[in-house]
Structure 1
Amino acid sequence: MAGDTYVTVVGNLTADPEVRTTSNGGTVANITIASTPRQFNRNSGQWEDGDALFMRCSAWDSTYNPLASNIQASLTKGMRVIAQGRLVQRSYQDREGNNRSVVELRLDEIGPALTRNTAQVTRNSNTGAPNGGGRGGFAGAGNGGYQGGSSYQGGAAAGAAPQQGSQPPAQDPWSSTGSGDSFGSFGSSGEFGGAGDEPEF
């Protein structure tokens, strides 16, 4: 939207996502991303950590985009992620009755940073329900998690490199066999022009 401030943050989750249900039935996930810049110290000849930015983020489930639920099923403490969203300011009253304001990132997209992780993607089924079957984003066995070291293992087959020329897996979420989803014959008929319609050079 016009006037919104969009931000992209790369960093590590400081804790597991906090997911709660609001009084009106909405589902929201809250996370904090620690983004630490690296600076080269010419005197020591070493890379050093700068001051970390701790960005509080929130994400909501909607009818067709269960982002909060996907975050809960996919992300855990310590994972390195890329997050994109809009900066928003909201006001609230703390337990002592004081009025406070905070600035947070309202997430539009988030996922593992593949420079330091590997992930296996599971596509949501189009059930129209935020918590319907097929929920999950980067799912492994039992929806996996951050499995030690610097690699997010998304399943038993995540470490296996695909062989060139091999067929797509049986459960490839983006494979399509429906007649209405194939673009293989696009332009083969004369409807959009063919080889015979090209001008001579």
Structure 2
Amino acid sequence: MANETYVTVRGRLTSDPEMRFTPSGAGVANFTVASNSRKFDKNTNEWVNKEAKFWRCAAWNQGKLTLAENIAEGLKKGDAVIVYAEIETRSYTTKEGENRTVDELRVESIGKDLVFSKPSPQAGTRSQPPQQNQQSRPPANDPWSTGGNQSQGNGGGWDQGTAPF
């Protein structure tokens, strides 16, 4: 489609995602992300928080893609996230008869923001870097190693000035 507006929002979940299913069986996870930017005040020489913006988000399962269920199972209140989504504007009428318009995000992709937090323990453990031995060195005829492919006698490899650009 044309003319969609996509944004990337960085913030924190204000509550646990709410998972529900439509009558047709489609899964959707609803949640809110609070995002507030900061600016540097040169007069006071301090960072100042700006007012928070709350983004209502909806993530849908699509066929075999279980985005909504993954969000509901993998994220919780307070998690720092980065959301890539399409802005959708929706109009509705309140019970009092007032017309309202809201912007919501239809989530395309989401992930935990690891800038200020550590990954969860079940995300895997980091092992020590390999020791420098014969097993961790590239083979002598590896054209991608820094020494180039000396066995062909043409000096190959990227470090020999043979890059195509």
After TM superposition, where is structure 1 displaced by more than 6 Å over at least 4 residues in a row? none
Partner residue in 2 for 1:44: 44
Alignment correspondent of 1:163:
128
How far apart are 1:12 and its partner, in Å?
0.8
1:78-157 alignment runs, 5 A limit: 78-94=78-94, 100-119=100-119, 153-155=120-122
Shift of 1:85: 1.1
Q: Structure 2: where are the runs of 5+ without partners?
A: 132-150, 157-161
Q: Give the C-alpha shift of residue 117 in structure 1.
A: 2.4
AA at the equivalent of 2:85 = G
Question: Do the aligned partners of residues 95 and 74 (structure 1) sit closer, same or farther apart at CA in structure 2, a change above 3 Å counting?
Answer: farther
Question: How far apart are the structure 2 equivalents of 1:8 and 1:40?
Answer: 22
Partner of 2:60: 60
1:89-126 Cα shifts (integer Å, max 9, x gaps): 2234545565543211100000100112233xxxxxxx
Normalising by structure 2, report the TM-score: 0.71
Compare the two structures and name the one with the higher strand fraction: 2
> How large is the Cα RMSD of the aligned pairs?
2.6
What is the distance in 1 between the residues matched to 2:100 and 2:25?
24
Q: What's the CA shift string for 1:147-191, capped at 9, x where partnerless?
A: xxxxxx232x74x4322238xxxxxxxxxxxxxxxxxxxxxxxxx
Give 3-state SS (helix, strand or coil) of 1:101's partner: strand
Name the CA distance, whole Å, in 2 between partners of 1:59 and 1:73: 13
Determine the C-alpha separation between the residues in 1 that align with 2:25 and 2:92: 19
Against the structure 1 CA distance between its residues 29 and 96, is the aligned structure 2 distance closer, same or farther, given a 3 Å change threshold? farther
Q: 1:97 to 1:19 in 2, by over 3 A?
A: farther
Q: In the TM superposition, what whole-angstrom CA distance separates every residue of 1:7-26 from its partner, at most 9, and x where no partner exists?
A: 00001111111111112221
Task: Could you tell me which runs of 5 or more consecutive residues in structure 1 were left unpaired when the two chains were aligned.
Answer: 120-152, 167-194
Identity %: 42
Alpha-carbon separation, structure 2, partners of 1:98 and 1:112: 37
Q: Is it true that 1:16 corresponds to 2:16 in the alignment?
A: yes
- Aligned match of 2:74: 74
Paired position in structure 1 for 2:140: none
* SS of residue matched to 2:70: helix
